[in-house]
Structure 1
Amino acid sequence: MSELTIALDIMGGDHGPPVILSAALKAIQKHPDTHFILCGQRTVIEPALLELSDQQRTQVTIEHCDEVVEMGEAPTAALRTKKFSSMRRIIELVQSGEADACVSAGNTGALLTLAFYILKTLPGIDRPALISAMPTAEHHKVFLLDLGANVNCTSEILFQYGVMGSVLAQQVAGIDTPRVALLNVGEEDIKGNAQVKYADQLFRNARGLNYIGYVEGDDIFADVADVVVTDGFTGNIALKSTEGLAKLVIKEVKRQSQVNVFTRFMARVALPLLKTIYNRVNPDQYNGASLIGLRGIVIKSHGNASADAFYYAIRQAREEARMRVPEKIRSKIETVLLEQL
């Protein structure tokens, strides 16, 4: 495949350009086969590029953008009044084909609105979804969607999510026949509301999907499914609760290791094990939610992401661009989704 091009919103995020630029420099140095378009204020970006070699500097193009979409700005205002913002520009670059994918840590609502307006959804898809990978007990990944793009979803939209999630798991995680499950309050057929029950029937009637039925919240990490489908309201709560628990565990392990001389000694002995566990549950490496269902690749990083976390989002964008995920979703829709609905 020819050189990939990734557009980055340098001005987005809670911590601003310093964190995003640090991640961008790391990506430039690690991926010499990738060209990066850095969108934002030129006076902010140019000083950070001084540490790059002459060769690495050829991997970078600066797109000066006067405007910034603020984190608390209303999505409709960003759409109407910020036509020269860095966030809008990265999406326009994907729409025009100048970039293969884009990444932003900015205002989630604004990013969703701009991406939906500029890129449009694939045929057969009503609404895009935010999807991200999470760790499982068997050292695999489970893809959870929707993570907050749509808090109210019809049964048909949940079914569309399952199709798209299956494609992403297959292409990015390399799973031949991903196990698709529907999140519910119980595994029994009688459990759940009418929306979930009808979605269950759509999945059962579909050909070309490895649907395994209902799962509960504690099954998400048990490696019983590769894709777990739910609405954005429930999915966002599940995601944030998981991240909060992971941070609590990490913080508590650090605190307990410093209680006294004995615990400090034991912590030193157990350091390799603790590092392994930390690397497994550290939310940073799972940063980067894909806004799938669009006619282009848009990756949303957490607003409070560290430089390492934003780098993982860039890596996710590269992987999806390399695998041409939107094209694979379109093909799957033609063979499964449009026949079903």
Structure 2
Amino acid sequence: MKIGLDIMGGDFAPKATVLGAIEAYKALSAGQKLVLIGDKEIAVTILQENNVSPDNFEFVHTTEVIGMGEHPTKAIVQKPNSSISVGFQLLKEGAIQAFSSAGNTGAMLVGAMFSVKTIPGVVRPAMTTIVPKLKGGLGILLDVGANADCKPEVLVQFGVLGSLFAQSVYDIDNPRVALMNIGEEEEKGNILCQATYPLMKETTLFNFVGNVEGRDLFSEGADVFVCDGFTGNVILKLAETFYVITRKKQFKDEFFDRFNYEQYGGSPILGVNAPVVVGHGISSPEAIKNMVLLSKNMVESKLVDKIKQAFQ
């Protein structure tokens, strides 16, 4: 197995990404290789400064970088030698089995859809995030930003994607899928939720348990929470703030510590033909390490094959 890592992506790259690669290498098994995509000379210097042999990694040298503020589609087209573009080319060719980056999120989405492409039958890929639960364990929230506007049938597909992800990668048996809404009653919500509910209620593709409200997100009522990307991104950013506020207030609590994005590494793009993970722009070495390990777990669980089978 070869896992591609964009070492030029992120606010603190390439130092944070290379240091994260070092930690990820320590957790990988024999036969699992990390391919560092970016400026090889800089990467080797950082490795040597930390007394790590460059021979532990493979390198694909690139010099172009897609900046955080660049237009995703234009950047992918105009910078074919950027670390993100090259990473997706390697993924498309099968030279690597997974690709992750803490760089431009839009470019990662566009790159995934242009290179390995969307799985046949999937209308729109989705991005996920982890939701910690009060009594331990975790839930999955999707979409968290890939699709600001959605149709009812797309939300149903998100339920399928989230359920397979929870089951395959996090070993959640028969995941309970809920629709994020402003009330538990079947008739509640905006036009989108009202149209989606009966479709989810009728499906046999996942274990639908009804509507949930925002206050239910950290409870035991469901394992997968489905919403449009606009709503999901607002929830995600608010949840990230919980951790920041508790740190600023010097409030130590195990539950709020689990809001630390570093533990989860990144957000998978579900619904494309290969494992792709997008990291937070401010990713630390710890976050980079966990992003790589999440990529590994997605490969080992054969998640993409299971999604393909579900959408045949």
Give the TM interval when normalised to the shorter protein: over 0.9
CA contact (8 A) 1:204 1:211 kept: yes
Please say if residues 246 and 256 of structure 2, whose CA atoms lie closer than 8 Å, have aligned partners that are also in contact.
no
Query: Residue 176 of structure 2 contacts residue 224 of structure 2 at CA under 8 Å; is this kept in 1?
Result: yes
Q: Does 1:284 align with 2:281?
A: no
Contact 2:92–2:115, Cα closer than 8 Å, also in 1: yes
Q: What aligned pairs does 1:45-56 form with structure 2 within 5 A after superposition?
A: 45-50=43-48, 51=50
Whether 1:66 and 2:39 are equivalent positions in the alignment is no
> C-alpha distance in 2, partners of 1:198/1:36?
45
Deviation of the 1:59 alpha carbon: 3.7
| 1:165 matched to 2:162 | yes
Partner SS, residue 36 of structure 1: strand
Distance 1:30 1:275 in 2: 27
What amino acid is the match of 1:222?
S
Which position in structure 1 is the counterpart of 2:293? 315
Query: Which residue identity lines up with residue 176 of structure 1 in the other structure?
Result: D
The answer to whether the aligner puts 1:199 opposite 2:196 as a matched pair is yes
State the 4+ residue runs in structure 1 displaced beyond 6 angstroms. Answer: none
Per the normalisation by structure 1, the TM-score is 0.87
Does the 8 Å CA contact 1:76/1:110 hold for their aligned counterparts?
A: yes
Determine the C-alpha separation between the residues in 1 that align with 2:130 and 2:255. Answer: 17
Aligned to 1:265: none
Shift of 1:232: 0.6
Q: Residues 302 and 244 of structure 1: is their aligned pair in 2 closer, same or farther, counting only changes over 3 Å?
A: same
Cα distance change on mapping 1:53 and 1:248 into 2, 3 Å? closer
2:27 aligned partner: 30
Structure 1 gaps of 5+ residues are 255-273, 335-341
Match in the other structure for 1:326: 304
Alignment-mate amino acid for residue 37 of structure 1? V
Whole-Å Cα distance in 1 between the matches of residues 85 and 52 of structure 2?
A: 29
**Compared CA separation, residues 8 and 243, structure 1 to 2 (3 A):** same
What residue is the counterpart of 1:14 in the other structure? 11
- Alpha-carbon distance in structure 2 between the residues aligned to 1:80 and 1:99: 21
Matches of 1:312 and 1:99, distance apart in 2: 18
Between the two proteins, what is the percent identity of the paired residues?
A: 36
Contact 1:144 1:227 in 2 (8 A): yes
Residues paired across the two proteins, number:
310
Higher Rg of the two aligned structures = 1
Return the alpha-carbon distance in structure 2 between the equivalents of residues 59 and 205 of structure 1: 51
Partner of 2:81: 84
Supply the distance in 2 between the matched residues of 1:281 and 1:153 (Cα, whole angstroms).
27
Structure 2: state its 5+ residue gaps: none
1:207-258 deviation line (CA, Å, top 9, x unaligned): 141000111111111121110000110000100000002210122125xxxx
1:75 matched to 2:84? no
Query: 3-state SS of the aligned residue for 1:139?
Result: coil
Task: Report Cα offsets for 1:156-187 as digits up to 9, x if no partner.
Answer: 11111100100000001111200001101111
Change (3 A) 1:282 1:63: same
Residue of structure 1 equivalent to 2:283? 305
Cα distance, 1:166–1:58 mapped onto 2, change above 3 Å: same
Distance 2:222 2:15 in 1: 38
CA-based RMSD: 1.5
